Structure 1
Amino acid sequence: MRTTVRRLRGCLRSYRFVLDREVTDPLRRELRWLAGELGADRDHEVLRERLTSGARALPGELVLGPVAARLQAWDAARGAEGRRRTLDALASPRYLELLDRLRLLTDEPPLRAKAAGRPEKVLAKALTKEYDRLARRMDRTLGMPSGSERDAAIHHARKAAKRVRYAAEVARPALGKPARRLGKRVKAVQRESGDQRDTVVARAALRRLAVAAHAAGEPGFTWGLPHGRETATADFREHRLPKAWSRARAASRRKALHH
C-alpha cells in the first residue's frame, strides 16, 4: 500500500505539467502524510527482519548475553507504536476524505491543455526531466567522499531514481521498449542505493541496542558483529553503485527516448 501511495504521489509530481496543480498539489501533500503513517510500521518490519536474521546467522559461541530477548523487547516497543499509527491513520476521517478525493481525480481528471499533445512527446518530456534531476544528484553524490553526507546524498538519489522508475512505468504504453529499458536500469540504481540506505538504518539501530545493553551491564561484543557486517555490505553496495548508474545513463533519453 505504501508503495502504491508513493508511486501515485511521484507520478502526480512527474506529470504535473499536464494536470491542474491546484487539484494535485493538495493531494500530493495528503499522500505524503499517508505514506509517513504507513511507513512507521513498514520501516520497523523491514528493520526487524534484518536485525533478527543477522543475529540468527551468528554462531552460538559468539552470542554473548540476552541478545534475542533484547531484540524481542525492542520489537515489542517499536512495533506496537508503528502499528498504532497505521491503524489510527486508516480509521481517520482524513484518510476517508483522501479516498473520496482520489475517486474524484479519476472520475473528473483535472487535465490541462498540454494533455492534448501527442502522448509519446508529452510523456518523453516528463520522463527526461526526471532523469535529468536524477543525473544531477548522482553525479554530485558519486563525487563525494564516504561519510554521513554521502549517505544522505545516496538516500536522496534513491528517491530520485524511484521517481524516474515510476514515470517510466506510466510512459511505457506510449514509449515502449525504451521506457521499459530505462525503468529496469534505474531500478538497479534504486536497489543498490536502497540496500546501502538499509545498512545506514541498521547500523544506527545496532549501536542503540549496544548502548542499551552496555547500560544494563550486558556484553556488547555480539552487537558489534552484525554492525561490522552491515558496514561491509555498505561498502560493497557503494562500490557497485557507479556501475549501476553507468548502465542507467546508457539507457537515458539521449539513446533510449529519442523520437
Structure 2
Amino acid sequence: MTIEAKAGDRVNATDEPPLASRMLARYLHTQRETIMDGQIAVHDDPDAVGDMVIAARRARCALSAYRPAVRHEPEVRRLIEELRWFGINVSAAHELRAQAARLHEAVDLLRPRYVRGPVRARMTNYFHTRTRPAWRAARDMFGSPRFPALIEDLMCEERLLNAGLVPGIDDSDNAVVLAALLERVRRRMRAVESARDEDGTDASMHDLRKALRRTRYYLESVHEMNPARSAQAADGLAAVQDLLGQNQDAAVAKQHLIQLTREAENAGESTFTYGLLLQREIDRTTICAAGLPAVYWRSLRAVRAMADVHADAPLD
C-alpha cells in the first residue's frame, strides 16, 4: 500500500498538529526542494549532485531518528530505504570525481623525481573507467520511475506530517530521542577506542561519523525547539564530522591507491609513487585518529548540555 493510500486510514488527527510534526515537515520540504533543484542543475554541473546527496541524507537521518515511527510505519521505512537508494546511486560518480581530483593534486605536489612511471595517465584511466559507468547509472536513475515516486512520497509524507497523521513523531519526547542518539554516538566512540588495527579503526570511525551525522541532522530538523542551543550543538557536531570526513576521504584514497599499485605491478611499472602517496594517506588517518578524542569531547559538550536542558536528569 502506498503512502498516499495509507493516509486515508490514519485517524485521530488534531486541528493543530504538535510542533514536532510541523518542524519535520518543513525540514523534509527543504530537502525535497534541494533534490529537485539539483536534478535540473546536474545536467550542466555534475558537481551539483553533492547538495542532492546531502539533502537525501538529511531527510533520511531526520526520519530515522524517530524509532517508533520507523518501527511501526512501513511507509516511513520504505521512504528511508528509497532515500538511501537515491543517495548511493547519485553519490558514486561524485565521490569518484572527488577522489580523482584529490590524488591528482597529491601527485602535482610531489617533486618531479618522486613521480616514477606513467602515474598521471594511469590515474586518469583508472578513474575514468569507473566514473563513466557510475555517472551513466546516476543519469539513468533520474529517468527511472523510482525517482519521481520518491519525490511524490516525500511530498505525501510532508502532508501527513502537517496533518499530524504520522504516529511515532509527536508521541516521542525530544529529550528521549536526543538521548538515544547520543547513546548511539557513545557506543560507536567506544568502538573506535577499542579498535586494534588500521582497518578496524577506519571502519569504526566511519560508523561514528554516521551516528554523529544522524544526531546533527535531527537537531537541524527540530531547531525551532530551542534555536540557539540547537544551532550551537549542530555546529559542534559539524566540527567532529569534518575531522571524521577527512579520515574517511583518506581511508577511501588508500583503497584506490592499493588497487592502482596492483595494476601498475601487473603492467610492470614502478610502484614507488603509489607507495609514497599511500603512506601519506596512512599518516593522515593516523593523525585524525590521534586528534579525535579532544575534538569529540569538545564538540559533544553543547549537545550534552542541550540534552540535559530537556531532560530531568543529566545523561552522563
- The normalised TM-score by structure 1 is 0.91
TM superposition shift of 1:22: 2.6
CA contact (8 A) 1:137 1:157 kept: yes
Q: Of the candidates 167, 181, 194, which is equivalent to residue 112 of structure 1?
A: 167
1:256 aligns with 2:311: no
The superposition leaves residues 47-105 of structure 1 with CA deviations (integer Å, 9 ceiling, x where unpaired) of 11111111111111211111111111112101101101101111101111111111111
Aligned pair 1:82/2:137, yes or no?
Answer: no
Matched, 1:123 2:171: no
Structure 1 residue aligned with 2:213, among 159, 162, 172?
162
Between stretches 46-55 and 122-131, larger displacement belongs to 122-131
The 8 Å contact of residues 124 and 171 in structure 1, kept in 2 or not, is answered as no
* In 1: Cα distance, 2:121 partner to 2:184 partner: 45
Please state whether the residue corresponding to 1:183 is helix, strand or coil: helix
Cα root mean square deviation, aligned:
1.8
| Pair 152,114 (structure 1): closer, same or farther in 2 beyond 3 Å | closer
Decide which moves more: 11-20 or 23-32.
11-20
Provide the aligned length of Structure 1 versus Structure 2. 254
2:93 is matched with 41
Query: Does 2:32 match 1:32?
Result: no
Contact (CA 8 Å) 2:69, 2:167: kept in 1 or not?
yes
Residue 161 of structure 1 deviates from its aligned partner by: 0.7
Q: Which residue of structure 2 aligns with residue 59 of structure 1? A: 111
Q: 1:188 to 1:113 in 2, by over 3 A?
A: closer
In the TM superposition, residue 23 of structure 1 has moved relative to its aligned partner by: 2.2
Q: Distance in 2 between matches of 1:42 and 1:205?
A: 15
Preserved contact between residue 219 and residue 234 of structure 2 (Cα < 8 Å): yes
TM superposition outliers: structure 1 runs of 4+ over 6 Å: none
Note if contact 1:154-1:193 (Cα within 8 Å) is conserved in structure 2: yes
Q: Which residue of 1 aligns with 2:5?
A: none
DSSP-derived class of the 1:69 partner = helix
Q: With structure 2 as the length reference, what TM-score do the two structures score?
A: 0.76
CA distance in 2, matches of 1:64, 1:176: 54
Going from structure 1 to structure 2, the CA distance change for 1:68 and 1:113 (only over 3 Å counts) comes to closer
1:182 is paired with a residue whose SS is helix
Structure 2 stretches lacking a partner, 5+ long: 1-51, 311-316
Q: What SS does structure 1 have at the residue aligned with 2:55?
A: helix
Q: Tell whether the 8 Å contact from 2:99 to 2:253 is kept in structure 1 after alignment.
A: yes
Unmatched 5+ residue regions in structure 1?
A: none
Structure 1's 205 and 113: CA in aligned 2 closer, same or farther, altered over 3 A? closer
